[in-house]
Structure 1
Amino acid sequence: MRAQDLIQQKRDGEELEPEQLAALVDGYTCGEVPDYQMAAFCMAVFFRGMSDAETAALTRAMLYSGEVLDLSDIPGVKVDKHSTGGVGDKVSLALAPIAAACGVKVPMISGRGLGHTGGTLDKLEAIPGFQVRLPVERFREILASVGACLIGQTERIDPADRKLYALRDVTATVESIPLIAGSIMSKKLAEGIDALVLDVKVGKGAFMRKTEDARKLAHTLAGIGRATGKKVVALLTAMDEPLGRTIGNALEVAEAVEVLRGGGPDDLRELTVALTAEMVLAAGLAGGHPEARRMVLGAIADGSALAKLEEIVAAQGGDPAAIRDPERLPRAASTRVVAAPRPGLVQAVDARALGIAAMTLGAGRSRVEDPVDPSVGIVLQKKTGDYVEEGEPLCVLHCGSAGAASPDEVAGRVRDAFRIGTVPAEPRRLVLERIA
């Protein structure tokens, strides 16, 4: 069957058979179907959608494009966590070591920055020497001995998603629910997990802008997991403003370390604890949420979570001294303060606008081949609800020596991302809903 015929069928709203989707995915994975045809197919799916049966078939085709790990010989319940993508979302960097310190086995296969959002792999690579490309055999060894291992897709594990993930990033097809579901679940099921905790973002800085869309995605993901015998829990969480106070890879690593030391911004700490507690529950290590939270907070308080991160970093070739002293992480060539144009209350902070601004500084990529500068980004000095005087810093830009945009241009965008007024903003809960 020809790829153009399948593109035309989907463009016209027809439902594709599992065999057709399998052939398309196989052809793309081995290079017989070029990027431009797969991009056209993704755009057709973006506008026409997919039935539940098609989404399940797409997920299976991507899952079996490579090796599906069997981790049953490693003692313990294997649980992973996945976020649908947000701005300043560095939760995985703290969550994985906390969960491992509590006794959860955490096999985590992550992705790179997608659109205006950051990627866990890009953040990890800001740690000097850290290797995200490991052979499957080494992945298994580290998981068994350390309790957690964080890598990217390999040629052997879900190679279809590795190619498709990058393509969606640069073809404006990221927000499609079937494509998101296929990407997440094929990657996670290939890990050999027993359970999965999902952080489904909703708001201006998320791919899902509306709560009903986020809820639909969560149910789609949970349905795929249920059909394959995996326990799936999803939290719908607000992403109207950046999570925490940093945007940018090395900056976010440092902030995650703050959380492991018992500090960090309130919202980042709250979400990290909530999601990690769900992992502890899914692993059967606690009898309820109160006990799971006590275990998570205990691992932070006694230092075992921070020690576990150092152990993970060392096992994956990184320099644990950069965790003990985040000053050893990459540093930007210069900084630039963005000041408030007038006094008042910060009524909103546009997460998407700041994510794009950080990307133009070099913290993310607009094309697959774009390099990422681990040192650049944005540090927020004010967030929603804070009072600011005229001329007081709203945030600080960390700029590289050869950014894609000038600091003056980025500063203007960033200033416009803050809405300042006289009326306090309506408070919004961070965790909006739990779907299990």
Structure 2
Amino acid sequence: MQTNLADFIRDTNEGKEADAILRSCVHCGFCTATCPTYQLLGDELDGPRGRIYLIKQVLEGKQATAATQSHLDRCLTCRNCESTCPSGVQYGRLVDIGRKVVEDQVPRPLGQRIVRTTLKTLLPNKWLFNPAMKAGQLVRPLLPQKLQNKVPPKQDAGQWPTRTHARKMLMLDGCVQPAMSPNINSSTARVLDALGIEMVVPPKAGCCGAIRYHLNDQDGGLADMRRNIDAWWPYVDGSAGFTVEAIVMNASGCGATVKEYGHLLQHDAAYAAKAHRISQLTRDISEILPDFEAELAGKLKGKIGKRVAYHPPCTLQHGQKIRGKVEQILGSAGVDVKLCADSHLCCGSAGTYSVLQPELSYRLRDNKLGNLQATQPDMIVSGNIGCLTHLQSGTDTPVRHWIELLDAALVGS
């Protein structure tokens, strides 16, 4: 694709990156076949190829409009198009760049500004979100259904392991997950403890940065990333008294973002090298456990008598390009695990998307649940807090993180 970027962005780092991405696109349209919003709406401008054209026009100097903004807002950033694209177009990065430029050109209505400011203030800050979630759980039966969907019932996290091990890994505590589903972190710690690995949670680490970054507060998102790097670095360089082997992620949305720290901070002289090292060390929990497949199989064979439907999060299969590992781990442990039809498609959660685009989000959720329920599961499992909460809001079938399934079986054994 030929480009002629406008002066305001041509020689910037973002402009150079966008120009390279745009030039890699060959207009083939394969991406539209796997775009969830294009499938629902049938509008070229609500598919990746159309959005690429909109971004190109804006970067070449055409004034963005509210319609431009709406088409970009309706993108889930699921990155299914990246998995489909034969030319390797990095659409996720391009849409981040394009959205920020459009955000600067098109003032949002007051209502939208209030909602977005609330989300990027409340969600990444545990000192605000945790008490808000606890209050919501206390009055949950009284809440309207739409709010109940966002407030899961209170959950007992169980005991955190107390043993020490020579092998140590860091865990990102996260921002919303400890309040919404605290058992995911403790389950991860217990499973790894049973395999001889100690989990360390640095107290000063927080939100991975994805929430603010993808709400076009990119400076705020980068600040969150730098804070995490500062919190983790003593455990990486050994100044904390030991050196960790990896940084474990059990929320694939966070993992996809942390693995991109090196790219997002590449022009920050103070953090570029550290960010690159952090990205190198980051592993989804599904990348850790295959090394223990035989051990887990020995501990768990015959212990999990459930038929399980697995929903691969977009941030795992398209963002991190990790496919097949969770099914392999569960299958080797004796779990009857099934993928549903169209397992490559997004469930509609997509971070804050279910709040900002509820109509499309719930249509995608219901389509996904229909396919998952067709496998007649006893339980639905996934690997990202957003997917878990969103799917559970539409079904009575239990929806859990797959690590919780292994943890429960290990405790039972």
Higher RCO (CA < 8 A, seq sep 6+): 1
TM over 0.5: no
More strand by share: 1
Normalised by the length of structure 1, the TM-score is 0.25
More helix by share: 2
Normalised by the length of structure 2, the TM-score is 0.26
